[in-house]
Copies of this chain bind each other. A is one copy, B any other.
């Protein structure tokens, strides 16, 4: 199949790498010519350039740009596509993206591979990044079934764990497990920074170990990414944050009352809930 990748970062580059190794023909489009040169040198793409017209003969085009640039990119890409092209994306939020792009291109099917590394850019692209990781597709009632089937096949070729769901369901689920943790974690860092005694603050830094490191990791990530996700999934994140705020208030109330039984039940519940999530890492 002839596949076009728009945006050759970690995700775009890694998709290109796997599909090309699987025998597909890959056309890459990037705003920067240097990225294309690097991608060709590393054998990530067959050919490419900075012009969207290169996508004219692609059967599948994947938009691998940041969520906030997706709709604008789709507007620029669509005039160049062949009529039967499947258009998809890799954004972390789906309902607003599907709602905005489907009118521009009826053959659009939202996608979200849940894979990544701390590194970014084409230089970080790697083979088998998606193997055994979830890859969500969010078709709508208007999605053409044969097009969905073709895209599903491509994703299964990555070795990914394919999930098909409603775009709103996707956004509600990722608000809980991906977007809420960013702010929970960032608030912990910001709260600890309130310590007024510099001696205590310095001691805390010396004593911090794996528990602190783990709990604060996602709060210390890329600010633009975190805010972009919050903007795109604002309603679900707000609802979840309000629930979370109530949970913290409940813990405070139990501790004020020295409700040991209540606190114990609380941590017993969280241990049970933690065990319910499979230990997928990466």
Chain A residues engaging chain B, CB cutoff 8 angstroms: 114, 133-134, 136, 161, 163, 165, 169-170, 172-174, 176-178, 180-195, 197, 199-200, 203-224, 226-227, 230-231, 234, 237-238, 240-249, 251-252, 255-256, 258, 260, 263-264, 266-271, 273-282
By a CB distance below 8 angstroms, the chain B residues around A221 are 267, 271
Answer whether A255 and B274 are a contact pair too, CB < 8 Å, given A177-B204, A188-B181, A223-B267: no
Contact between A244 and B193, CB atoms less than 8 A apart: no
User: How far, in whole Å, are A223 and B230 apart by their CA atoms in the complex?
Assistant: 32
Chain A interface mostly: helix
5 pairs, CB–CB < 8 Å, chain A vs chain B: A169-B200, A172-B200, A191-B243, A214-B214, A238-B256
Contact between B223 and A218, CB atoms less than 8 A apart: no
Contact between B215 and A184, CB atoms less than 8 A apart: yes
Contact between B264 and A227, CB atoms less than 8 A apart: yes
By a CB distance below 8 angstroms, the chain B residues around A181 are 188, 211-212, 215-216
By a CB distance below 8 angstroms, the chain B residues around A212 are 177-178, 181, 277
User: How far, in whole Å, are A182 and B266 apart by their CA atoms in the complex?
Assistant: 11
User: How far, in whole Å, are A256 and B174 apart by their CA atoms in the complex?
Assistant: 19
Contact between B180 and A188, CB atoms less than 8 A apart: yes
By a CB distance below 8 angstroms, the chain B residues around A188 are 180-181, 184, 244, 247
By a CB distance below 8 angstroms, the chain B residues around A182 are 211, 267
User: How far, in whole Å, are A268 and B190 apart by their CA atoms in the complex?
Assistant: 10
User: How far, in whole Å, are A38 and B204 apart by their CA atoms in the complex?
Assistant: 37
Answer whether A217 and B214 are a contact pair too, CB < 8 Å, given A188-B184, A241-B251, A243-B194: yes
A202 CB, nearest partner CB in chain B, Å: 9
Contact between B276 and A205, CB atoms less than 8 A apart: yes
Answer whether A187 and B247 are a contact pair too, CB < 8 Å, given A178-B212, A181-B211, A258-B234: yes
Leading 4 A-B pairs by shortest Cβ distance: A220-B274, A223-B267, A186-B270, A187-B247
Contact between A241 and B248, CB atoms less than 8 A apart: yes
Contact between B209 and A271, CB atoms less than 8 A apart: no
Q: Whose C-beta in chain B lies nearest to the C-beta of A254?
A: B230
Select A220's contact among B136, B260, B275, beta carbons within 8 Å: B275
By a CB distance below 8 angstroms, the chain B residues around A194 are 243
Contact between A176 and B190, CB atoms less than 8 A apart: no
Q: Whose C-beta in chain B lies nearest to the C-beta of A244?
A: B191
